[in-house]
Every structure is written in C-alpha cells, then in structure tokens.
Amino acid sequence: MTRILYVVARNRPDVYTALRETFVESARLGIVLDRRGDQPVSAAMTERRRLTVDEPLRTRGWARVRIDADGQAALA
C-alpha cells in the first residue's frame, strides 16, 4: 500500500494547521512538521540515501512524499 506524508516547514504553522483540518490522518496519510535543525550535515548523513525536501519546503512551505510498499520514497 502506498502512503503519503506531508512534511511542513517549521516556519509555516498555518499550513500545518490547514492540512490537519482538511485531511484526516490515517494509515495511508501522515502530516508532520520538519524536525530537522539548522545544524550542518555530517559526512555520515551525506553518505546515506536521503530524499531532499529542502527546495519544496523553502518555496511552498510543504512537501508531499509518496512512500511505496517497498519503502522507496519520492516527492509526489
């Protein structure tokens, strides 16, 4: 089963609130605030495969991530 995760920028609580009021969270849908800090990325972190949501968080204030049943994630 494919899941959808909305990640909302910490400086956009209005978007977070609107998504929470619009969508009911379920096993298929999650809404979270970006928990990453402003710390520099360590070498260990750059070596891992990571989905980069920085650009949509900066430009829109949110990112929608599709997580397939096999665990693969992609911006939706």
**Token pair belonging to 51:** 């989905």
What's the whole-model pTM score?
Answer: 0.78
Domain that holds residue 48: 3-75
At 30, which amino acid appears? G
In 3-state terms, what secondary structure has residue 10?
A: coil
User: Is the confidence at residue 7, as pLDDT, over 80?
Assistant: yes
Tens-digit pLDDT profile for residues 10-58:
999 999 999 999 988 788 999 999 988 765 555 555 545 567 888 999 9
In 3-state terms, what secondary structure has residue 56?
A: helix
Instruction: Give me the number of domains the chain comprises.
Output: 1
